[in-house]
Chains A and B, each alone.
Chain A
């Protein structure tokens, strides 16, 4: 952080119409915003963020602040504490603002939570955690299961679909 320069402030407007004031040192970590900071500060504009709400933006800003200097040490904590629902919002926000480290961190967290439940998850477990139903025809599903059992975990389901005419 360059404290010698006078720290400028970048203003954001979130999806729920709240205005945020963020220090430049934090805002430069948003790859999307980076190039327009000079213009925005000079003209005193507010940057609208239509798909980021105030709560999430606060988290992103918090995360960037912590990581401005000591990137490595804090990696392990922070996002782990975030509740599940917030993670998705955080992921969308981080992607929109392009905060590469945060995307990485959150996506890792989500995959641990949703997909890698236990050592060897089965498809039913995944369906349960993300609450979706199979949209395969029952025959295909049966075939899939059989194939995976007989040929190890790497059966080629795609070929089967096409050849059996069950999926176009």
Chain B
């Protein structure tokens, strides 16, 4: 208390002195020293300093300051995941901020090269708060029988429907239509049923897409970034299996699941040189499998590991005591399509494998009392598996896949939504986005670190909010009841996806008008 008083009087002293001399000491200091000083202040003060004058604006916007702040807030709290950190004595120095790559966990890709650290910080900050700007891209004027299919990848939204064909919208240029390509001229069965975009690792300028149609035909397209155009590189004839319901593309492999629950795995000849825009020969059908017990929704994932192809099919299956539980089959193929391994795992809910438990007394209310409803959607991105339910909840599972075993952790309920969840998607960094069918409720979830240990449960109780609802950053118009009642609420028609910066949802408004709603967190 006395100290504070002393410093205040010193302060006014200093101000008076500065007024007399007409200069302030701070401005005489070099940028380097200003950086040292600003390195100690909070983010709030930093942004406030940026408004003081031009010089402070530049210095307080320095990337290194924001990089350190980013590390403090977003990387260091997860430091327990550093390899070997638990065996090391926990000295403060070991966990202090550094540019060393190994200390940046999954954010290490940011450390090399020119990163706009302030931008990154703002992105993560907005994401954690659910603050974003919302924009809409109209994609279809009238109602269509099936909704437009859309996917988001690397800043481009790809859509496909019968009338407009394949289209690409650029997120960077205010969602301008980049190019379109008709799909009607090439195939007889023109109703597209599924669209998938390859998770490309930014190699070359070509993004591959696969479109599945009614009656089991599919086509491969290439989107060339430099020439801004689509090229159809391959068309596959219809099959007897019916509509394709799910597809996954990991070049040169393609896997499809049809309505008749037939799973096919194709391999294209991977020796395509250069641009990859040439016509391709027919792929080799490596494997074909049928199922009678797997229903949609399901999620396919394809990984290439050491010359093998690992195909994971995540689905849900009904159980006696727990309702619908997530399950997964993992198939390992050799390059020739020979099945090397096949493993099945079901969520290990407590007591599931032990009908006779040694536990006596009343059952503890918790995970074991829960029955799970049939999922409305299912998303798998290793190691996270998330199901959404019509009963306003989500279920989170953690998948462990090692050479020796495949297992799924017990399901964990996630509460937060106020109406039925239409769809939920998860990224491999443990970030999930979920949308409701009616209304426009979008929630963001941070699943990382929410594994099922008792320690984190205790923490959860203290911080019950694991998710935030997305809200527009702009000043929203005052709520108008009359207007709200006269408008038909838009319904969610499809899920598009999200990346580091944006989440995109397909909505249907009045008169069947369809639009993409983009939530931009930058």
Report which A residues bind B (CB closer than 8 A): 80, 83-85, 87-88, 91-92, 95, 103-104, 107-108, 110-117, 120-123, 126-136, 141, 144-145, 148, 150-158, 167
Contacts and interface: CB of A to CB of B under 8 A. Distances in A.
B453 interface: no
Given A107-B37, A156-B119, 19 more contacts: A84-B13, A88-B28, A110-B26, A113-B7, A113-B14, A115-B49, A117-B11, A127-B52, A132-B24, A132-B27, A132-B52, A133-B53, A151-B474, A154-B43, A154-B121, A154-B122, A156-B118, A157-B51, A157-B57
A63 B49 CA distance: 30
The interface residues of chain A, by DSSP majority, are classed as helix
A84 B14 contact: yes
Contacts of B461: none
Contacts of A144: 50-51
B478 interface: no
Contacts of A150: 473-475
B402 interface: no
Interface residues of B, number: 51
Contacts of A156: 118-119, 122
A50 to B, nearest CB: 15
Contact of B3 (A80, A132, A134): A80
B74 to A, nearest CB: 13
B48 A122 contact: yes
Contacts of B44: 120-121, 153
A83 B13 contact: yes
Contact of A152 (B10, B26, B56, B129): B129
B18 A130 contact: yes
Contacts of B51: 123, 134, 136, 141, 144-145, 148, 157
B131 A152 contact: yes
B125 interface: yes
A92 B33 contact: yes
B19 A131 contact: yes
Interface string B102-140: 000000000000000011011001100101000000000
B182 interface: no
A113 to B, nearest CB: 6
Contacts of B23: 131
Nearest to A89: B25
B10 A113 contact: yes
A97 B250 CA distance: 59
B363 interface: no
Interface in B43-74: 43-45, 47-54, 56-57, 61
